[in-house]
Structure 1
Amino acid sequence: MKSNYIRYIIFATIVVAGFSSCKQEDFLDRFPKDKINEQIYFKSEVDLKLYANQFYTALPVEFSNNDNNSDNMIPGNRNTFLSGIYVVPASGGGWDWGNIRSCNFFLKRYEKSEIPEAAKQKYAAEVRFFRALFYWQKVIQFGAVPILEQDLTENSPELFASQNTHKEVMDFVLKDLDFAVANLTEPSAENRLNKYAALALKARICLWEGTFRKYHGLADEHVFLQATADAAQTIINSNLYGLYSTGNPGQDYRNLFIQDDLSKNKEAILSRIYISNINTTNYTRAISAGNTGYSKDFVRSYLCKDGLPPALSPLYAGDDTPENEVKDRDPRYTQTIATPGYVMTQNPDGTQDKISIPRVGTSATTTGYQVIKGRSSDPAQSNANQETIDRFIFRYAEVLLNYAEAKAELGQLDQTVVDVSINKLRARAGMPNMVLANLVADPNTIFPGVSLPLQEIRRERRVELAGDGFRFNDLLRWKAGKLIERPETILGMKLTPAYKTNYPSSQVSGIALNADGYIRVYSNITNRLWYDKMYLYPLPIDQLTLNGNLKQNPGW
C-alpha cells in the first residue's frame, strides 16, 4: 500500500537526518560530511539499506511515450541517431561509470557489516541486481566494455584496461543475476527488490542476449534463451502474478495503466509508487501535448477482431477515415490511440472534452495517432507535476511474452506454451486465441525471415508493449535495424481531401502529405537510413585519447 511506502520514506529520511546530527568529537577528527566514513559505515542493516537505496531511481519505469527512438512513434523533432546524423561525441555520450563504481564500492565493503548473513547477502543481491542492469545497458549501447570489479581511484591501473568482449561481459552479468535471484527474498509490502523482480530482469536481459547472439552470429545463444524460459517459468509457476482483468476487454487494457495504486494489482511484479507532494510525475499533462504520435507502420500491426491481419481479414474497412481504420480491430487499438469518442477530460461536473476527430495540426499528435496509453482523463492528474498514477517497472505481461519468444527460439513452442502466454494476453483483450495449427502467413509481414509463430509473437509484443520503451532494443537484438528505413515508420494517418473538410483550413493547410494522402511528419525526407554501425554507439573521443587500449566501435 502507498501508506506503507510513506512510512518507509519517513523512516529513511529520519535515519539520513540522524547521520547529519552534531557530535562532540574534536573538529580535526571529523570526517568530510559529503563522503561515506568507512570506519563507521557498513556496520548495520540500515547502512546497507540506505546505500542500496541510491540505485532505485535507476530502475526502468514504463511510461508509454518511450518509443520515440523506434519505428513505433514519430516525434516532431527528428531523432538524430535514427536520422543518421549522430556524430562521435567529444565526451560523455553514455560512457559514465559512476553507478558501476558505486556498486563495486559497496560490494567490496558490505561483508564487514554486523548483521545476519542472510540479510547481508540480501543487500548484496540488490546491488548486484543493479550492477547487472547497468552493465547490460552499457553492452546495449557500446557492445564490448571493460569489466571492472573494483571501485577505481584516479591512480587505479584498471583505468587503462582494454574492453572485454561482448560475450564475456554478458556472462559476467548472468552471474550477478543468478546471485540476485538466489539471495533476494519473497515480495513484501516494502516495495523493494524481490526474487521475482530479479527473475523478471533475468528473463528480460537473457532474452535480449540470447536473440542478439543468434541474429548477430555470436553463437552460444542457447544458454541465455533457456535461462529466459526458466526464469519466466518460475514466475508463472509461483502463482503470485496474473493479468489484470475485470472481464471488460473494451476498458481493461487502458485502465491497467491509469491506476493510482498498483500495490494490489497482480500484474505488477514491481512498480514505481507516486505520492502526492512527495514523489509525482507530469506524464498525463506532457503526453497531452507531447508532439509525438504512433506511426502508420505501428498501427498496421493491429489484427482485426477475427484474429486475421488487415491484409487477409474481410472485416478490415480500410483507412480512408479514422472511423473505418479502427473498425473491428483489436480492442487495444482504441485503448492505446485516441480515436473518435475518446474522452480527453472528464470533469467533476459531468462535462467532457471528447475527441471527435484526430487532433492533427496541433501539438497533441504529429501523426493523427495520438498517444493515450497511460494517460488519465481525470483533470487532477493534469496539474503540472502533480500526477500520482503508479507505473510499472516489471509487468507480468512482459514475462509471458518473453517466455513465448524464448520457447519459440529454442524450438520448444507448442500450443500449451501459447495458451499460458500469448492467449492469456489475447483473452484479456477480447481477441481470438492464437492456434498454431491455424496460422496463416501475413503477406505484409515485416519479418518474412522468421517462422510464422515468431512473426505473431513479435506482433503481440509490439502491440502489448506499445510505447513502453522496448522496441528499439528489440530491433537491435533481432538485427532488424533496416526496418527503420520503411517509409511507413515516418508516416501518419491518411488525410483525404474529404476528411480535411472536418478541420479549419488554418489547422491543416501546413500538413505535408505523400502521394497517397498519408501525413509526412518530416516533409524533407521520405524515409530514414540505417547503417550497420548504428547497432552500437561510438565511444567518446576523450576516452579514446585518455586510454589508448580502448577501441572505437566499427564504422565510427
Structure 2
Amino acid sequence: MTTKSFIYILLGGGLVLASCKREKFLDRNPISNISPENFFTDETDLQLYCNQYYGKLPVQNFVDADDTSDDKANQSINQFLAGTYTVPSAAAGTTWDFSFNRTLNFFLANYQKAAVTDSVKNIYVGETDFFLALDYWNKVKLYGDVPFINTYITDTSTSVLYAGRTPHKQVMDSVLNYLNFAVAHLPLPANAAKGRLNMYQALALKARICLWEGTYREYFGVGDQTSYLQAAAAAAEQIMASGLYSLYSTGNPGSDYYNLFIQHDLSTNPEAIMPMLFSTNVLMNGVDRTLGESGDGYSKDFVRNFLCTDGLPTALSPLYKGDDSLDEEIINRDPRLKQQIATRGFDFLAGDTISLPRIGTTVTSTGYQCIKGRSSLITDWNANASTLEFFIFRYAETLLIDAEARAELGTCTQAVIDGTINLLRARVGMPHMIIASLVRDPNSHFPNVPVLIDEIRRERRVELGAEGFRFDDLHRWKAGTLINNPETILGIKLLPQVRAEYPASQVSSIVVDANNYVRVYPSITARVWADKMYLYPIPTGEITLNPNLVQNPGW
C-alpha cells in the first residue's frame, strides 16, 4: 500500500463499526447531486457524511517523512530543496485543490435540516470546523495568502469562485475561530463515539497550529503573535491538566522510545491522544515493509544534534568519542540516537542482524538507517499485512509545544521545563535540563535566540525525528538557510579502513568528501536555499482561470 493510499483510509475501530450503514452512504449521488432535503434528516446522515473527512487526518507513519528538511537525505534528491521543482499546471493532487473545502462547506450549508437537537448538530459542525482549520492551515503553510471560501460554491457562484487571495493573517484568524468552535462542541473522550473526534484531539490540533502561527508571526515580523502563543500554551496545558495522557514507559530507557513506535495496539497507550488503528484481516498496511526499502537516511547534521549523556553537546562534552565509526559515534549519546538509527546488532528482519552500517544498497542512503517505526517481525514485513499502528496526535508533542510557547512568551520557568522537557528526557535516562546551567552550543544553528529556546528546539528535533514536522519548523522559525549546511546531505564517515570491511562491489561507487563523509549526491556539495522556497507556487492553470490570482514571489 502506498503512503498516499494509506493515509486516505478512515480510522479503524469505531468508524469500521458504522459499516453496516455504509451502503446507505455509498448508494447516494455525488455531492453535486445530493438532495439536501432528502439526505440531512437525522444524526445518522450527519455522521455518515462526516465520515469522509477522516481520511485527511495527519497520520505520522514515517515513510519519507522529513525528506524535505535538513534531517534527511534520501537516495532520490528532493526536487524542491534542490531547486528543480516544476510548477504544477493543475490544482488536482496539490494542496491548492479546494474540492475538500467544497465538501466541508456543503455540510455547513445543509446540516441544519436534520431533525436533531442543536447540541447534536454542533458535534458534527465541530468535526467539520476541525477539518476546515486543518485544510486552511495546510494551504497557508504552503501558499501564504489563499482565497478564503466559507460558503458552498455552486456553478453560478462566480464572484466567490474567482475571488482573490485573502491575507495570511486574516485566514489564520478564521482558522482559530474554527478551532475554538471544535474545542467547545466536540465531546469529551468518554462521551465521544468510538473512533470519532473528541475535545482533546481538537485541542491537540489547536496547540500545533497556534504554535506554528505564533512563531511564524514572531520570526517573519508580521506581528500579533502573542495571542497565538498564549493559545498554544493554554491548549497544551488543558490537555496536560486532564490527567488522561502521559508518556509511554516501561522503565527501560534503552528501548522504550524505539518500542513506542512498533506497537500493534495504541488504543490504550497513554501517549496516544489520537491513534490510527488497524486490525488483522480488516484494515492493514504495508508501511513497515516500505520503511525497510525506502532508500532513506538521516543526515550527518541530524545525528550531530544529539547531546551526550552528560547533557552537553558534542562540541563541549568530554564524553564524545568522535565519529570515525558509527560504533564510536553512538557511545555516550542520548539513547534516542541508537533507537532511531540502525547500529551494530540491530535485528533488521527476523534475525538478520546488522554487523556494519548499511551503505551502498537500496535500504539506506547515508549509513544512518532510519529504524523509527521499523519492526523486525516478519509478520509486519509481509506485504500489506502489518497491523502496526501510528500516532495522529502524540502527547510528547503537546509537552514540546507548551515548553516552546512558554519560552517564546518569556514565561518558561524551571517548573515548566520539569513538567515537559524533563519528562521526555527521563524516559530515556538523560539528565534533566536545568535552565540556570544551560551553555550555548558552539555549533548552534540558532545563535540569535535565547539559549533556552535553542535547546528546546534541539529537544523537539530529537524527539520528533522522522515524524514530518521539521520543514514546518524551519519555515515558522524563518530558518530555511539551514538547508545550505553541507552536512545536511552527508552521511557516515567512511574511512579507508572502514570501507575495506565491505565487499568492494558494494562500496566502490560511494563518493566521500575530503573528510571521508559519504556524499549522498556526488554532483553537488551543498543545497542552496532561496527565500521563495518558504512558499510553493500556485498551479499555473489556476492563475490562467482566475485573473485575480498572482503567483508567489520568485516562481
AA paired with 2:138? Q
1:172–1:12 Cα change, 3 Å = same
Cα offset, 1:117, TM superposition: 1.8
Q: CA distance change for structure 1 residues 16 and 311 in 2, over 3 Å: closer, same or farther?
A: same
For 2:307, which of 291, 299, 303 is the aligned residue?
A: 303
Q: TM-score under structure 2 normalisation? A: 0.95
| Match in the other structure for 2:534 | 535
Q: Who is 2:21 aligned against?
A: 15
**Within-5 A mapping of 1:142-153:** 142-153=143-154
How many Å separate the matches in 2 of 1:227 and 1:34? 37
**Separation in structure 1 between the aligned mates of residue 462 and residue 221 of structure 2, nearest angstrom:** 28
Deviations 1:333-357 (A, max 9, x none): 11100011111123xxxxx111111
2:7 alignment counterpart: none
* Counterpart position of 1:40: 38
Aligned match for 1:163, one of 162, 165, 172: 165
Distance 1:185 1:425, change over 3 A: same
CA shift in 2, pair 1:8/1:211, >3 Å: closer
Give me the identity figure in percent: 53
Q: Which residue of 2 aligns with 1:422?
A: 421
Q: Which residue does the alignment assign to 1:349?
A: none
Give the distance between the partners of 2:264 and 2:416, measured in 1 at CA. Answer: 33
Q: Distance in 2 between matches of 1:86 and 1:290?
A: 21
Shift of 1:429: 1.1
Taking the aligned partners of 1:77 and 1:345, their CA distance within structure 2 comes to: 24
* Aligned counterpart, 1:60: 58
What is the SS of the residue equivalent to 2:259? helix
Q: Deviations over 1:151-202 (max 9, x none)?
A: 1123212011111100000000000000000000111471211100000000
Q: What are the ranges of 5 or more consecutive residues in structure 1 without an aligned counterpart?
A: 22-29, 347-351
The code of the aligned residue for 2:279 comes to I
Structure 1 residues 32 and 511, CA gap change in structure 2 (3 angstroms): closer
Partners of 2:512 and 2:381 lie apart in 1 by 32
For residue 126 of structure 1, what is the aligned residue in structure 2? 127
Distance 1:305 1:31 in 2: 60
Q: Which residue of 2 aligns with 1:502?
A: 501
Match of 2:113 in 1: 112
- What amino acid is the match of 1:326? I
Q: Secondary structure at the match of 2:38?
A: coil
Aligned mates of 2:516, 2:484 — CA distance in 1 = 19
The whole-number CA distance in structure 2 between the counterparts of 1:34 and 1:143 is 29
Aligned-partner Cα distance in 1 for 2:177–2:401: 20
TM-score for both structures, normalised by structure 1: 0.95
Q: 1:49 aligns with which of 31, 47, 60?
A: 47
Kindly provide the amino acid, as one letter, of the partner of residue 331 in structure 1: P
Cα distance in 2 between the residues matched to 1:420 and 1:45: 41
Alpha carbons of 1:492 and 1:409: their partners in 2 closer, same or farther (altered >3 Å)? same
Per the alignment, residue 388 of structure 2 pairs with 389
2:359–2:507 contact (8 Å) kept in structure 1: yes
Which of 178, 181, 185 is the equivalent residue of 1:179?
Answer: 181
Task: State whether residues 15 and 196 of structure 2, in contact with CA within 8 Å, keep that contact through their aligned partners in structure 1.
Answer: no
Paired position in structure 2 for 1:24 = none
RMSD: 1.5
Distance across 1 between alignment mates of 2:95 and 2:288: 28
In structure 2, the gaps of 5 or more residues are: 1-10
State how far apart, in whole Å, the 2-side matches of 1:499 and 1:176 are. Answer: 56
Question: Structure 2: how far apart are the matches of 1:441 and 1:103?
Answer: 47
Q: Report deviation, 1:18.
A: 3.8
Tell whether 2:549 aligns with 1:555: no
Secondary structure, counterpart of 2:86 in structure 1: coil
Query: Using a 3 Å threshold, how does the CA distance of structure 1 residues 7 and 267 change in structure 2: closer, same or farther?
Result: closer
CA 1:333 to 1:31, structure 2 compared with 1: closer, same or farther past 3 Å?
Answer: closer
1:333 match: 337
Instruction: Look up the SS of the partner of 2:82 in the other structure.
Output: coil
| 1:7 positional shift | 6.9
Distance in 2 (alpha carbons) for counterparts of 1:13 and 1:164 = 39
